[in-house]
């Protein structure tokens, strides 16, 4: 079963027409590129045999260095050496308040919502810097394979939202790389393990990299990888481990802070080296030699575990939430796959094993497993395996919908729906003669617009004027395989339509993502009550508007003064109670008003029928019906 059409008509591939495609793991700390050759998948090394490319970019006077060469400048020229830029992909200026203390480079003060980093080459965005990393990986692939690349599958954290995914695609475009699709990192790991080992059942993919954490619950069955639920933190990873270790070191050395940018980078490098050393040793020596500060000490696994325990617990909270979303118990998990260099930390493996009550899988290098899966998927998408049975079913992380009357959110696509997906829902006009409709696209789990995130707005104009409720407006949400959204609206009777490609200028901060999910659960009961109340209030407004419109047309002719007075008395009561918080009271008053208007409604109906038949006879209608019957 193919994920998409893999060859145009007349362009089917054969054995001697093997197309070269690569899988790229664009990581926070390290990046890799892999490909499938002769049926075997492997990561591609540089000229010195190194497979991992440090995700570091240095801007020199007349050159740009990427990888290990750039890393060598991180202490001598820290202001022009950018590390961990992935953490800022698709992010906003306000998201940097806490994070910017981690890094030695500086952010420029601009009016742009997109953060820009000060460098010798000018103020650069995360997209532009990431493009340099992708260019280096592309160059490595071309030099190794010696042929043109037909496309690439690039991996992203499962919790990346629309803006972060779009930023990744924009970086690839700057690097002149054709993106076959964006693939969630945990799903890529499942591809690698599933195809190599033939695993079936329910697995948890625990992906802890240098700057992001993802947890995905997947069901594997006969080549189908279905993501049941995702969770995580797009700003939690090994960098944060390094930071707390560095804080411990300066505290032990009696320092107040990390000092200047060069000192900060040196301390962070020492912290990372100590963390990595403890993956294979019980303890390691650490030291600081900064000007007047000369300190030596010992960091062991117990101290490390105590330092990073709060961070590991945050990952386990996300795991618990993902299990709940997938409606899966821990004992239903068949295997736990460890992905990302930070999972080499023994404390992480121990606590994950304790949480899931099983020993996690680590047989594939956690640094290479994501690129391996991406390469396998890329090989399928360029058409080298037309009979391949692999199908990937990713999910969207947060529900998508539109605003309806009363400030309510009508969800079109619900959270954890498999993608790609297209769903439509019909709406109608609220007022007589309405010729335009504003479409407000929202994201989140709450019931009210005020509690949701606004993604985009557009207008559908040119609706033929009709009575309220006569128009049929179909709103369609399409989420592609990369998780990007297109919203369109079409008035079915006239054919007028409008659409928008939703590309938010920046993504959700981590606190916003966590808050949206947590509050949707904490306030579920209150939200349902608020929604029911608002629906009754909207219905009250609708009834009042319909009544006022009718009275203006024929109220004087069809109602006596007493009848009109009785209706207006009940109408006034509804006006007063519709702002009440008692939805039953509003509902009862609406019913009371409808009862008071029963005779008036009957007279209007009779009057309309009489007007429609004026100048015609019953025999004419009977004759028309006989003619239609004979024709049929």
- Eight-class DSSP state of 13: -
- The per-residue pLDDT for range 48-74, each reduced to its tens digit, is 889 999 999 999 988 999 999 998 888
What pLDDT does residue 350 have? 92
> Is there a catalytic annotation at residue 161?
no
Pairing of strands 224-233, 391-395: parallel
CA–CA distance, 202 with 227 (Å, rounded to integer) = 10
Lay out the sheet containing 56-59: strands in order across.
Answer: 64-66, 56-59, 81-83
What pLDDT does residue 540 have? 83
Pairing of strands 418-419, 391-395: antiparallel
Q: Pull the structure tokens for residue 373.
A: 């899966």
What pLDDT does residue 102 have? 59
What pLDDT does residue 113 have? 65
> Is there a catalytic annotation at residue 135?
no
Tokens 């290098």, residue? 365
- The per-residue pLDDT for range 184-206, each reduced to its tens digit, is 888 888 888 764 455 568 889 99
What pLDDT does residue 580 have? 75
Q: Which domains does the chain have, with CATH numbers?
A: 15-238+306-395 (3.30.420.40), 239-305 (3.90.640.10), 400-522 (2.60.34.10), 525-613 (1.20.1270.10)
Residue 424 CB neighbours (<10 A): 13
What pLDDT does residue 1 have? 31
What pLDDT does residue 626 have? 53
Closest CA to 28 of 179, 238, 185: 238
Selecting among 19, 77, 86, 226, the annotated active-site residue is 86
Give me the chain's average pLDDT, please. 80
- The per-residue pLDDT for range 342-369, each reduced to its tens digit, is 898 889 999 999 999 999 988 888 889 9
Selecting among 185, 240, 242, 379, the annotated active-site residue is 185
> Is there a catalytic annotation at residue 561?
no
Give percent above pLDDT 90 in the chain.
21
Q: How far is CA 374 from CA 186, 233, 284, 418, in A?
A: 10, 21, 36, 19
pLDDT class of 441 with cuts at 50, 70, 90: confident
DSSP for 87-99, written as a single string: GGTT--GGGHHHH
Most confident range, picked from 448-452, 478-482, 485-489: 485-489
Higher-scoring residue by pLDDT: 506, 257: 257
Cα atoms in the 13 Å half-sphere on the side-chain side of 466:
16
Of 121-125, 163-167, 504-508, the poorest mean pLDDT is in 504-508
> Has this prediction a pTM greater than 0.85?
no
What pLDDT does residue 515 have? 54
- The per-residue pLDDT for range 229-279, each reduced to its tens digit, is 888 887 788 888 999 999 999 989 888 777 787 888 888 889 989 998 998
Q: Where is 565: in which H helix or E strand?
A: helix 561-577
Selecting among 132, 161, 207, 514, the annotated active-site residue is 207
Specify the 3-state DSSP secondary structure of 35. Answer: strand
Average pLDDT over residues 410-430: 81
Contacts (Cβ under 8 Å, ≥6 apart) of 75: 262, 265, 266, 269
Q: Is residue 3 over pLDDT 50?
A: no
- Give the rounded distance of the alpha carbon of 509 from its chain centre: 11
What pLDDT does residue 349 have? 92
DSSP for 290-356, written as a single string: ETTEEEEEEEEHHHHHHHHHHHHHHHHHHHHHHHHHHT--GGG--EEEEESGGGGSHHHHHHHHHHH
Selecting among 25, 128, 170, 451, the annotated active-site residue is 25
> Is there a catalytic annotation at residue 25?
yes
Q: Is the peptide bond before 420 cis (omega within 30 degrees of 0)?
A: yes
Q: CA torsion 446→452→458→461, rounded to 10°?
A: 40
Pairing of strands 179-184, 152-156: parallel
């Amino acid at each position: 079963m193919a994920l998409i059409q893999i060859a145009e008509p007349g362009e089917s591939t054969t054995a001697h027409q093997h197309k070269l495609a690569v899988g790229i793991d664009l990581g926070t700390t390290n990046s890799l590129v892999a490909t499938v050759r002769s049926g075997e998948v492997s990561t591609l090394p540089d000229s010195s045999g190194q497979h991992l490319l440090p995700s570091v970019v240095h801007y020199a006077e007349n050159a740009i260095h990427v990888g290990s060469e750039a890393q060598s400048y991180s202490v001598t020229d820290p202001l022009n050496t950018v590390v961990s830029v992935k953490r800022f992909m698709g992010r906003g200026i306000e998201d940097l308040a806490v994070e910017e203390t981690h890094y030695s480079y500086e952010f420029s003060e601009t009016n742009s919502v997109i953060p820009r980093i000060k460098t010798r080459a000018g103020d650069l965005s995360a997209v532009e810097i990431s493009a340099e990393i992708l260019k280096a990986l592309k160059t490595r692939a071309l030099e190794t394979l010696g042929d043109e690349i037909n496309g690439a599958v690039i991996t992203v954290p499962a919790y990346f939202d629309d803006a972060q995914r779009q930023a990744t695609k924009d970086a690839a475009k700057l690097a002149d790389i054709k993106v076959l699709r964006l693939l969630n990192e945990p799903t890529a790991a499942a591809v690698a393990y599933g195809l190599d080992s033939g695993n079936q059942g329910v697995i948890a993919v625990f992906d802890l990299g240098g700057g992001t954490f993802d947890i995905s619950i997947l069901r594997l069955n006969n080549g189908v990888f279905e993501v049941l639920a995702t969770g995580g933190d797009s700003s939690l990873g090994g960098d944060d481990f390094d930071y707390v270790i560095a804080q411990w070191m300066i505290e032990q050395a009696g320092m107040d802070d990390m000092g200047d940018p060069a000192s900060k980078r040196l301390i962070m490098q020492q912290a990372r080296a100590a963390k990595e050393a403890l993956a294979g040793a019980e303890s390691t020596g650490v030291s600081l030699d900064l000007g007047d500060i000369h300190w030596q000490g010992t960091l062991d696994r117990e101290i490390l575990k105590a330092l990073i325990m709060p961070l590991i617990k945050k990952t386990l909270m996300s795991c618990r939430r993902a299990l709940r979303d997938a409606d899966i118990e821990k004992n239903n998990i068949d295997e736990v796959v460890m992905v990302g260099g930070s999972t080499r930390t023994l404390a992480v493996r121990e606590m994950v094993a304790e949480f899931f009550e099983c020993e996690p899988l680590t047989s594939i290098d956690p640094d290479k497993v994501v690129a391996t899966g991406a390469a396998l998927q890329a090989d399928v998408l360029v058409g080298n395996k037309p009979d391949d049975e692999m199908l990937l079913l990713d999910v969207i992380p947060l529900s998508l919908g539109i605003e309806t009357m009363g400030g309510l959110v009508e969800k079109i696509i619900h959270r954890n729906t498999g993608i790609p997906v297209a769903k439509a829902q019909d709406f109608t006009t609220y007022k007589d003669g309405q010729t335009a409709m504003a479409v407000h696209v929202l994201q989140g789990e709450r019931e009210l617009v005020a509690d949701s995130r606004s993604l985009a707005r557009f207008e559908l104009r040119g609706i033929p004027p009709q009575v309220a409720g006569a128009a049929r407006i179909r709103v369609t949400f399409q989420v592609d395989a990369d998780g990007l959204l297109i919203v369109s609206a079409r008035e079915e009777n006239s054919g007028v339509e409008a659409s928008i490609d939703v590309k938010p200028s920046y993504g959700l901060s981590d606190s916003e993502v966590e808050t949206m999910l947590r509050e949707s659960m904490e306030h579920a009961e209150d939200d349902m009550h608020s929604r029911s109340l608002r629906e009754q209030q909207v219905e009250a407004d609708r009834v009042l508007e319909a009544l006022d419109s009718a009275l203006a047309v024929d109220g004087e002719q069809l109602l006596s003064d007493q009848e009109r007075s009785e209706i207006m008395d009940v109408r006034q009561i509804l006006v007063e109670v519709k702002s009440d918080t008692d939805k039953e009271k509003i509902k009862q008053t609406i019913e009371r008003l409808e009862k008071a208007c029963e005779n008036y409604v009957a007279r209007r109906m009779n009057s309309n029928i009489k007007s429609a038949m004026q100048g015609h006879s019953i025999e004419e209608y009977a004759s028309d019906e006989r003619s239609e019957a004979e024709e049929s």
